[in-house]
Amino acid sequence: MPPRVINIGRAFSCPLESNYNVYRRLLIANPSISKTLLERSAPIIKTLYPDIYKAVDNRIKQVILYAYSIQYPDINIDRFASRLTISPKCYRQCSACAKMLFHSPIYDYVWLTHCPIHNIPLELLCPECGIEWPSTQLLPRTQCATCGLGINQQDALKDGAFNDTAHKALNYLYEVLNTSNNCIDSENYVMSNGRALRNCVSPTSLFAPAIFENLQQRKIGSVYRRNLVVAKMKTHEFKLSPFDQNQITGKEIVDITFPWVRPIQISIIRKIAKAIRSLTGNTHFIDGGSGYSDCPYCIAFNYWWCLVTTVYSDSGLDSSYSQRTILSRPLFEVARPGPVTQYLSKDGVIYNLPTGAQKIIYEKDLEMSYYALFKFAVDCLNYPGGNHFQLRKSAIIPYPYLGKNVSNLSFDFWVLKKSRSRALLIYSDEPIICRENMAFVKAPKTKCMTLSGIKAAELKKYIDNVYFYEEQISAMSEPHRERTVNLGKKISDIQKGFYTPIISHARKVVDTENFDSTFYTG
Amino acid sequence: MKTILEDRFEHPIFKPLWLQFTTPSVKQLHQKLKQWIYCGITGGVIVGDARIGKTTAIEILHNRYTTRSKGQRIHCHRFVVPKRDTPTIANCLRALYFSAEFTLGKTKKADEMSEQLVHYFLDLACENDDKVVLLIVDEFHRLSINQIEVFAELHDKLRLLNASLHVYLMGNANEAEKLIGASERTEYAHLRGRFFNQKYYFSGIQNINDLKQCLRMYDVTRYPEETGPTYTEYFLPADFKKGWRLEQQAKLIWECYSTHRNELSINSWGMKYFVGTVSPLLTDYLPQYSTAQLSRNMVEKCIEVSGLIPDYVRAT
């Protein structure tokens, strides 16, 4: 047997543990060399285990691979190394599991709300320290009895914690993951705006259990259901008819006011208002016009509404409008509806996307966009100094307004071809906000116009006011090509104008001049 | 290309470390250790005369132990105690730390080393479901009574982590007397109970039957293993074919040894001296003078060569 570089903490090893957990147990099992574990062990691994040293270039991975090679002498180093990934953090963790030195990669998945072993909520923060679960970098210096190296080892090794029932529960969830991945026999359709409709479900997706249940026709056991978010899925069947390019006359592009667009917009405004009311105790007001509120709901609403209407006043833009943050999340993404402008393509064949399917996609896009903007507004308010690093950090910091799961929510669409001429649009109908563990802060009441008791007539008036602005832009329109240039320029000005209120609320620290050119598109 | 003569010296008989026979004494020790492990006796002392073959016996036996329930391997860590000027607990821990091949870092606190070793033994214990690990402390007579506390501490800590560390101390009977005597004092009752209550006296060849079994090993052990000739056949091929066996000479050899045993009051024939007697007989005298000339004088000469007499005269 070759000499051991370090202890591997075999007593603490559990099936289905994450590599983060492997690293943590290595640190605990090597108290005399923990602090310099990586620095000191790497050269020794290089000498004694050249295969491991060559297989992975990351030092943490080398140490983990070493531990695996000792524990499972028969593993193929190269093959295993190619699949070895380690997350620098554990984002969510069960506090009871943390005390027992266990973490599973599935705890980071948004669809799992409770620990399957202890049936308690998964936490973003260590209950003892009150801060995030430590990263691999911070672990060697963390002596917390829950999240760090100071755990009670006797308790961690007590029998009964990881018994057969616990493993059964974990195994079951792993099974859900494995089967839900690529479980849809779908095809890769691409919309006319270049947006791909998904043909597989990532295990990390919120919809993984729902897809598993709805499309595999296998019910998730009631014992496990209470720990999962099983999103409701809906289906819409439509006709797959070939797309005829001659249908485009150019007139449709200009005519952007479809009769079904405004009702959808109104219904989404109602939905947003209802969501805000439910989150803030039915007392919230939305600042509909001033744009100078400190409330992220209001900032997001203004920004959202202006952008929604801008999209339809812009005949020069392509059929969709998308803006991304530095975190590569869509800040705003709405498919532009139209009689013939939306189509699906696959393997060079183009199909019409019927109005029914367009409505669904448009509605979900509108709703998603509001929450994306809301999240962005909260980011800006939380980090007035808004540099890249802090905004990146914000992705893992809980949002005081909407609760912890907000960063992982989205609507997804799948298209399943049923026959030669029929297809099925599958989509999630669940509210975007996760219901569990909401932590809200009441928004300020002043300077906000109430939406809670708003009447239909007032709402229409409010919307018409905004449309007035849109009409002004339309009035400026000239022949098509010129309009494209002029409106493109105008839109960029409008964008700058709309970003500015948010930045000003972020205490004017962000440089607005550089903001929209590099800050968003990075 | 090597000559036949050079090849001859590749034979294990010329390499004392390679020459390992499972003698009756080794079998008895094996049974005793097995008994201790199966009965849950977590500490014991194995003593015997110097050069009797204790260390070799443990080298042969250390990887033979399995759990009673599932037959899983029980890992055995061998630790040879080095002699140091200051017999401190930290020194003992450090020696044990390095014996576990931890080379990281230079200066470590005793607590750190202790914790590291606890996890080291815990790792080894986890190789079987019963979580048992053996620690053989060779030359334990070099330790002071306080240094024995190291093993008690490791044992206690591992017990809290649901693992069982069996510590068996092994050393020379004469030199260990003082240490064993010290353990009788009341203040070391906890050590006596843990490590010194169970004693086993390891002996060498005690009678002609033991000698026969040892000599038979030369007649049956092959080099190269399985395919080659036996040790006896390798050096005396013609005689071996005619049916001559070393085992048959047990009576003559025992008579010669008995003379010295009575004179020097030797309890048992140490393996070092036994091998030191048989090796020159088999490799030099008999090939040179033929088996027909094997005589008492020849055997006497071999016993002299083995160093038995001067060693025991000096010891007594």
Which burial class, exposed, middle or buried, applies to B277 when counting CB atoms under 10 A from its CB (0-12, 13-18, 19+)?
Answer: buried
Q: For position B114, what pLDDT does the model report? A: 92
Q: Would an 8 Å CB–CB cutoff place B263 in contact with chain A?
A: no
Q: Under 8 Å CB-to-CB from A333, ≥6 apart: which residues?
A: A195, A320, A321, A322, A323, A365, A368, A369, A372
What Cα–Cα distance (Å) separates residue B137 from each residue in A132, A459, B43, B181?
A: 46, 87, 11, 18
Binding-site residues on chain A for chain B (CB distance < 8 A):
3-11, 28-33, 36, 40-41, 44, 153-154, 157, 159
Q: Across the interface, do A32 and B161 touch by the CB < 8 Å criterion?
A: no
Chain B residue numbers touching A6 (CB-CB < 8 A): 102, 104
Asked if the model's pLDDT at residue B111 lies above 80, the reply is: yes
CA distance B211 to chain A (A): 35
Residue at A45: amino acid letter: I
Pairing of the two strands B43-48 and B199-202: parallel
DSSP A12: G
Chain A residue numbers touching B107 (CB-CB < 8 A): none
Q: Would an 8 Å CB–CB cutoff place B165 in contact with chain A?
A: no
Cis ω before A400 (30° cut-off from 0): no
CB A337 within 8 A of CB A222: no
Backbone angles phi, psi at A398, to 5 degrees: -65, 145
Q: Under 8 Å CB-to-CB from B258, ≥6 apart: which residues?
A: none
- At A251, list the tokens: 């007139």
Q: For position A241, what pLDDT does the model report? A: 82
Task: Report chain B's mean pLDDT, rounded to a whole number.
Answer: 88
User: Of B103, B106, B119, B161, which to mutate for an interface test with A (greatest number of A Cβ within 10 Å)?
Assistant: B119
CA distance B140 to chain A (A): 24
Chain A residue numbers touching B105 (CB-CB < 8 A): 32-33, 36, 40
CA distance A159 to chain B (A): 9
Asked if the model's pLDDT at residue B42 lies above 80, the reply is: yes
pTM of the full predicted structure? 0.69
Chain B residue numbers touching A41 (CB-CB < 8 A): 104
Rg over CA atoms, chain A: 26
Q: Across the interface, do B161 and A8 touch by the CB < 8 Å criterion?
A: no
How far, in Å, CA of A53 to CA of B28, rounded? Answer: 46
- At B4, list the tokens: 């036949």
What Cα–Cα distance (Å) separates residue B37 from each residue in B133, B134, B164?
A: 10, 9, 10
Backbone angles phi, psi at A235, to 5 degrees: -130, 150
Q: For position B308, what pLDDT does the model report? A: 80
Of B112, B123, B131, the CB nearest to A7: B123
In our burial notation (b when 16+ CB lie closer than 10 A, e otherwise), range B112-126 reads: bbbbbbbbbbbbbbb
What Cα–Cα distance (Å) separates residue A504 from each residue in A299, A401, A509, A516, B144?
A: 11, 20, 8, 14, 76
Chain A residue numbers touching B72 (CB-CB < 8 A): none
CA distance A136 to chain B (A): 21
CB B201 within 8 A of CB B48: yes
Of B104, B123, B163, the CB nearest to A33: B104
Chain B residue numbers touching A32 (CB-CB < 8 A): 102, 104-105, 108, 112-113, 115-116
How far, in Å, CA of A398 to CA of A124, rounded? Answer: 7
Residue at A175: amino acid letter: E
In our burial notation (b when 16+ CB lie closer than 10 A, e otherwise), range A262-279 reads: eebbeebbeebbebbbeb
Which candidate, A288, A378, A291, A397, places its Cα nearest to that of A331? A378
CA distance B246 to chain A (A): 37
CB A413 within 8 A of CB A198: yes
Chain B residue numbers touching A153 (CB-CB < 8 A): 160-161
Chain A residue numbers touching B102 (CB-CB < 8 A): 4, 6, 32-33
Q: For position A307, what pLDDT does the model report? A: 65
Q: Across the interface, do B104 and A3 touch by the CB < 8 Å criterion?
A: no
B157 to chain A: nearest residue by CA? A154
Q: Would an 8 Å CB–CB cutoff place B33 in contact with chain A?
A: no
DSSP A5: S
Strand partners, A343: A352
Chain A residue numbers touching B101 (CB-CB < 8 A): 3-4
Q: Under 8 Å CB-to-CB from A232, ≥6 apart: which residues?
A: A210, A428, A429, A430
Report which secondary-structure segment, H or E, holds A266.
Answer: helix A261-280
Count A/B contacts: CB-CB distance under 8 Å: 65
B122 to chain A: nearest residue by CA? A11
Q: For position A294, what pLDDT does the model report? A: 60
Of A31, A40, A159, the CB nearest to B112: A31
How far, in Å, CA of A166 to CA of A297, rounded? Answer: 41
Chain B residue numbers touching A8 (CB-CB < 8 A): 123
Each residue's pLDDT, cut to its tens digit, for chain A (522 residues) gives 455 678 888 888 888 888 888 889 888 988 887 666 666 677 777 777 777 777 777 777 888 888 888 888 777 777 777 777 777 778 889 999 999 899 988 888 877 888 888 888 888 889 999 888 998 888 888 899 999 999 998 888 875 556 667 777 788 777 766 655 555 555 577 776 666 665 556 677 667 777 777 666 667 777 777 777 777 778 888 888 887 766 655 554 444 456 777 788 778 877 777 766 666 655 555 555 444 456 667 777 776 776 666 554 443 333 344 444 433 444 455 665 555 456 777 777 888 888 888 888 888 878 777 776 776 666 666 554 444 444 444 433 333 444 444 444 566 677 777 777 888 887 876 554 433 333 333 334 433 444 434 444 555 554 444 444 444 434 433 433 333 333 333 434 444 444 333 333 332 222 333 333 222 222
Q: Across the interface, do A31 and B115 touch by the CB < 8 Å criterion?
A: yes
B129 to chain A: nearest residue by CA? A11
B128 to chain A: nearest residue by CA? A11
Asked whether the CA dihedral A181, A182, A188, A191 is positive or negative, the reply is negative
Q: Would an 8 Å CB–CB cutoff place B160 in contact with chain A?
A: yes
DSSP B142: G
Mean pLDDT for B155-176 is: 94
In our burial notation (b when 16+ CB lie closer than 10 A, e otherwise), range A428-462 reads: bebbbbbeeeeeeeebeeeebeebeebeeeeeeeb
Q: Across the interface, do B105 and A30 touch by the CB < 8 Å criterion?
A: no
Q: Would an 8 Å CB–CB cutoff place B41 in contact with chain A?
A: no
What Cα–Cα distance (Å) separates residue B207 from each residue in A86, B24, B32, B203, B299?
A: 64, 11, 20, 11, 17
CA distance A94 to chain B (A): 23
Q: Across the interface, do A33 and B115 touch by the CB < 8 Å criterion?
A: no
CB B75 within 8 A of CB A4: no
CA distance B124 to chain A (A): 8
Chain A residue numbers touching B161 (CB-CB < 8 A): 11, 153-154, 157
More confident residue, B288 or A310: B288
Q: Would an 8 Å CB–CB cutoff place B107 in contact with chain A?
A: no
Torsion of Cα atoms, A497 then A192 then A342 then A416, to 10°: -120
Which burial class, exposed, middle or buried, applies to A284 when counting CB atoms under 10 A from its CB (0-12, 13-18, 19+)?
Answer: buried
